[in-house]
Structures are given as structure tokens and as C-alpha cells.
Amino acid sequence: MDKKKEHKTIHKIDGVKQPTSTNIISIQKIKLKREKSPTPQIFIENVIKGDISYLSKAITLVESTNTIHQKKAAKILQGCLPFANKSVRIGVTGVPGVGKSTFIEAFGKHLTLLGKKIAVLAIDPSSSINKGSILGDKT
């Protein structure tokens, strides 16, 4: 008898190579950006101009325990101090539920209607870690 052709029920097909999950170009751009840390003078100029991005980065440097960050933060604070006398700082405290957030919101709206600029910095003095953490997610 003639040999019948052998048929396999399972066929192996090579798949497509899985691309890496992270874009290499993006990684290089991020690394390059991190290496180019702005000078304290650039921070000072932008904070004074009201650039919220630089202000938040400066606050991060002030909170950092890294000695390089602390030195840079000290220079930024020194450079911004001459402009601090033009601002008014108000502290609001009270037990939970007393209406601190409601007051801050109402007072803030009132000031903005008068054309004033405001910033709210919420601090939790009961933080068990550093006894005064800045809360970016509150108020």
C-alpha cells in the first residue's frame, strides 16, 4: 500500500515577539530631564512669577531629607524671603468637624472675588512620622 500523508492535528506557529512594555525613547527623555535639575535662581524666578509647578517642586525640596535637596531648598528660601513680606499668612486650627475647610473655601472665594491671589497649604500636625506633614490631597 501507498504511504498515506501524515496529518498532525496540532500545528505550531511561531508568534510575534512581544515588544518591551516601556518605550525606550521615553525612558531616555525622563533620565535626561532628571539630570537637568533647575538652579536655585530658576526656582526663585519662577516661584516669584507664580508658577505653581515650580512652587510645588520647591516645596518638595524643602520637605526632602536629602542633603543636596536641603542645600538647594535653603538657597531657594533665601532668595524668596525678600518677597514674602508682601503676603499675609493665616493659620486655621480646630477640632475635626468645626468647619475649617468650609471657612477656608468661603474666605478664599471672597478674596478671589476681590482680585487677590491665594494659596492654601494644609498641614497635619498630628502626623506620627514627622509631626507636621504637608497634605497635598486636602482642602
pLDDT tens by residue, 66-76 = 999 999 999 99
Cα dist from 131 to 67, 69, 93, 123, 125, whole Å:
20, 20, 15, 10, 5
* pTM for the full predicted model: 0.56
Separation CA 80–CA 68 (nearest Å):
19
pLDDT (tens digit per residue) in 39-74: 999 999 999 998 989 998 999 999 899 999 999 999
pLDDT (tens digit per residue) in 101-130: 999 999 999 999 999 988 888 776 665 665
3-state SS class at 122: strand
The hierarchical CATH code for the domain 36-87 is 1.20.5.170
**What stretches of the chain adopt beta strand conformation (E)?**
122-124, 133-135
Domain ranges for the chain: 36-87, 88-139
